Chain A
């Protein structure tokens, strides 16, 4: 996504050249599971994910409020067409074939190469998968502005050369849109409904992106629209250079190789954040290297001592303007749109750092109303505004929610379980590098710093919920008390009338008067 570090793009072309040597179909076949195409139902979800993530990124980069439409049509058994349409900036004609018909092109490619927590390889992988399973290519319509003609392409990938083969290239009329992109792709797939399906993915994507409008039409399903609830783009995430603490040895070596700086000291200062001349000096001295050395000549062993020296030097935390949280208002508005609940709360924690990587944890809760009352709370996890639908059990977010003592907030909770009751828990981690537990990128790793903030964010929401629950319980008790007195009044009026020989009506009226007018004053309640 846009707020990820651009440092991952360093020397993109060089790396891409190296990649070209590998047979693309072989690479794809070997890495299918890493890329999210391990089975037909996941392949469909990954295709939609890639396209929607791209669309959201493109819109945000072009400062356009996203309006995304997704449709899935069934062609025959295990064969579907996926259509994803956005109102993004469009793609210039020359770039279209490369983006869709060339594997490992564009920013996502680098992220994958550098194993940096991104969602997948990119839309071209989906095109590749479609082609391998159906023999059909991908169709793209793109328009870059109201005064431009829309272009329609049909293209294949030459799997030997990793090059697009254009079969159709024509201008078409697309006057419905000023700008945008439409992708149409046929693939072998299984359509899954429910918790891990496309519709849930889009529903949650809409929740984490309150500035977006997302419409979805599944096969044989009604069109569902998630309206935009915030008419403002999220705060733009600034690009930052890597913080020395967050760089692994392998990455460090590559950075030394590809730097534009001519000295080691210059490289450290210009390619990393928070490294001043003084800090660079300190690192180099500790590593027993020379400041003037050419970075490209630093051998592996020296790089290792440089890496160790970095860990020993005190360096201030990285800047946090590289993060773009959803914000408390956005979370609450999103939850209100999606849940007919009686209580909402949200908390965006201040930025924090783990291993040199800044991150922000946000949490939100919706409680009561028409949310399912029986059973346990539902937890929704997001990493960089992307829903995580798999591996909930191994995720730090789930652990954080389990570790919170919900009983203190008036909810039931069995040992080691989520709280009971009509509750939805929303947790978002935004980071330049979200640490996942595995390549499939569905569960956040249990770093203590991250765990701590997840708990704090949920607790903050929980405290507010606790106050609400106590108030509701108190109001209910007061109502019960009044009901209780009403019963007692009827009985007392009868008996006291018999005992005293006075009129029952008079007694009952007097008692009711006291209940309604005087008792609330005694109890200090508002009438």
Chain B
């Protein structure tokens, strides 16, 4: 029996034991919110604190989540038995049904099973991928790199206009050849396409990576492996807004909701290239400002208060400046200076001048 299957069965048997003792079946989980997330200054990553919460079956506020947790555990156990992997979406559909005689669905939205799977990681100590569940592949990558994945050699420089899509699980790929001086990660797929069309990675001997919005675990882990195994500097390029700043924060320190796996994902040596307040002034991007809304403003205040930013002077300067501007801007604002401005001038200059913050 695999370790995963054993752990899942044990989880079930523990609950049966509680039921035998005529107890309210209870799953104890660490609290996964900012109140229970600590910043470890030594490792430079986020980690979970010691606050625990009980999820009880006989509590109308918990019953549904409790059932969802058991449901996903059972799906995962069945996958372990046949040694197959399935997607988050598949898990959602395997669990989704209406409880007979009621109007209640076991799950209504995929985010519920996604959360339950994260809980299961904490319960069993196995990662989502080890539990035989993968996220969709996401993002694109290009560069002078050859990898091997399930026996296939893949050359990241010869994949046409789309590049290689990064799978949820990158544990089993091996790097055959890595010819690059740095990795450039950008929040926007459209910017990646601009750079790819301009053969930026070839001209500058680097790797370019993008995601669509939030950075997936697969991308983060891939960046981490490139940083650790090949000692490549990682540069991050996001929109000039609080949400872009947080994307950088997640890649560098780990995310709050996934603090339990921050250690496996965080890349403390990541650098933030832009867009920064100084870029706004230097390149005259004020013309392309978008006014901050109330949500943006409260998010900046929140981020500025995070332990890992609180004493960081360059970052506090950024937050202050943005609040002074009362405005945000997109990476694409640079295109106003010409469509190849970003690939031919902005990025090479920034890297050459070491114009980044950490």
A residues adjacent to B (C-beta < 8 A): 481, 483-488, 490-492, 495-496, 498-502, 506-507, 510-511, 513-515, 517-519, 522
Contact = CB atoms under 8 A, between A and B. Distances in A.
B58 A501 contact: no
Q: How large is the interface on B (under 10, 10 to 19, 20 to 34, 35 or more residues)?
A: 20 to 34
A67 to B, nearest CB: 56
A495 B11 contact: no
A488 B102 CA distance: 10
B98 to A, nearest CB: 10
Interface stretch (B65-73, B163-171, B268-276): B65-73
A500 B11 CA distance: 8
A323 to B, nearest CB: 53
B243 interface: no
A60 B224 CA distance: 100
Interface stretch (B19-27, B39-47, B132-140, B177-185): B19-27
Given A491-B99, A507-B19, A522-B24, 5 more contacts: A486-B101, A488-B99, A499-B8, A500-B16, A511-B57
A502 B73 CA distance: 15
B12 interface: yes
Interface in B1-59: 8-9, 11-13, 15-16, 19-20, 22-25, 57-58
Nearest to A493: B19
B22 A518 contact: yes
Contacts of B77: 498-499
Interface of B: 8-9, 11-13, 15-16, 19-20, 22-25, 57-58, 60, 63-64, 66-67, 70-71, 73-74, 77-78, 99-102, 104, 106
A45 B71 CA distance: 72
A518 B24 CA distance: 9
Tell me what chain B mostly uses at the interface: helix, strand, loop, or mixed.
helix
A126 B248 CA distance: 96
B22 A487 contact: no
Given A499-B70, A518-B22, A518-B24, A484 B16 contact: no
Tell me what chain A mostly uses at the interface: helix, strand, loop, or mixed.
helix
A484 B63 CA distance: 9
A492 B19 CA distance: 12
A117 to B, nearest CB: 57
A519 to B, nearest CB: 5
B12 A485 contact: no
A488 B13 contact: no
A499 B20 contact: no
Nearest to A489: B57
A496 B104 contact: no
Contact of B67 (A491, A506, A507, A518): A491
Contacts of B64: 488
B74 A498 contact: yes
Contacts of A515: 58
B58 A485 contact: yes
B355 to A, nearest CB: 54
A495 B71 contact: yes
Given A499-B11, A502-B13, A484 B19 contact: no
B12 A484 contact: no
9 contacts: A485-B58, A487-B100, A487-B102, A487-B104, A491-B67, A499-B11, A499-B73, A506-B19, A522-B24
B60 A484 contact: yes
A492 B67 contact: yes
B100 A490 contact: yes
Contacts of B58: 485, 514-515, 518-519, 522
A41 to B, nearest CB: 51
A483 B74 contact: no
Given A484-B104, A488-B99, A511-B57, A496 B16 contact: yes
A519 B56 CA distance: 12
A263 B100 CA distance: 91
A496 B22 contact: no
Given A507-B19, A513-B22, A500 B12 contact: yes
Contacts of B78: 498
